[in-house]
């Protein structure tokens, strides 16, 4: 049992003869399970050897460079996961001072749960993995290319308890709709970028 569970148990013991004892004891498993679920969700991590969390994205991964997809690595995928999904988007478009849309840069789904990460400029996806459409209406990765100001780019990894069915047109919205109710854990890596020219 986690420390919060023991604390609740101690509190209940003081009230064991009170009218509310039954309710207190019934609440203990629920609270303990909620904490375990939170810990499980926080145990998955997403990192990049090219990018620190909340750090600046190197130019080679943007439209001002070679527009390569960055190297990514993850750990702590839950044992019950059947697949992973990765979505990269920018909630600051077009102007961080007055954002209007979330611009989608990359959609990947049905990544095998045993996959430990993706190399830089990934060309060969893991067996079974699929790429969706970004907001340029292209399949694959499109790097940061902010028209004004410094934007944030959220790399979001999801562990799912299913392999997703064909979403039809594989947009972010359709993939997220298919994921609903199947997310076991989530991890996030945020990078920023502002054009130099």
* Distance (Å, whole) CA 27 – CA 171: 41
What pLDDT, in 10s, does the model give residues 77-119? Answer: 999 999 999 999 999 999 999 999 999 999 999 999 999 999 9
Domain layout of the chain by residue ranges = 3-41, 45-193
Q: How many helices (H) and strands (E) does the chain have?
A: 3, 9
Please determine, looking at this structure, whether the domain spanning 45-193 carries the CATH number 3.10.180.10.
no
**Model pTM score:** 0.79
CA 185 to chain centre: 8
Tokens of 114: 């045993």
Q: Which residue has the tokens 């780019």?
A: 153
Q: Identify the band that residue 30 occupies on the pLDDT scale cut at 50, 70 and 90.
A: very low
Asked if residue 113 lies in contact with residue 128, where contact means CB atoms within 8 angstroms, the answer is: no
Q: Report CA 146 to chain centroid distance, whole Å.
A: 22
pLDDT of residue 179: 98
Whether pLDDT at 151 is above 90: yes
**For all residues of the chain together, what is the average pLDDT?**
86
Using DSSP bridges, classify how beta strands 55-56 and 183-193 pair: parallel, antiparallel or unpaired.
parallel
pLDDT recorded at residue 66? 98
């Amino acid at each position: 049992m986690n420390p919060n569970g023991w604390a609740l148990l101690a509190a209940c013991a003081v009230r064991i003869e009170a009218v509310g004892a039954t309710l207190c004891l019934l609440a203990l498993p629920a609270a303990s399970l909620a904490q375990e679920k939170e810990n499980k969700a926080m145990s998955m991590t997403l990192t990049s050897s090219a990018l620190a969390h909340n750090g600046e994205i190197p130019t080679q991964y943007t439209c001002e460079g070679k527009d390569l997809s960055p190297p990514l690595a993850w750990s702590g995928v839950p044992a019950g996961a059947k697949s992973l999904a990765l979505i990269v988007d920018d909630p600051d478009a077009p102007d961080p001072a007055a954002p209007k849309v979330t611009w989608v840069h990359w959609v990947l789904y049905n990544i095998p749960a045993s996959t430990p990460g993706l190399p830089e400029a990934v060309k060969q996806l893991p067996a079974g993995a699929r790429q969706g459409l970004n907001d340029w209406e292209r399949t694959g990765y499109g790097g940061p290319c902010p028209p004004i100001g410094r934007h944030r780019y959220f790399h979001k990894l999801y562990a799912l308890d299913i392999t997703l069915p064909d979403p039809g047109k594989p947009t972010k919205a359709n993939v997220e709709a298919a994921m609903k109710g199947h997310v076991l854990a989530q991890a996030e890596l945020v990078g920023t970028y502002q054009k130099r020219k």
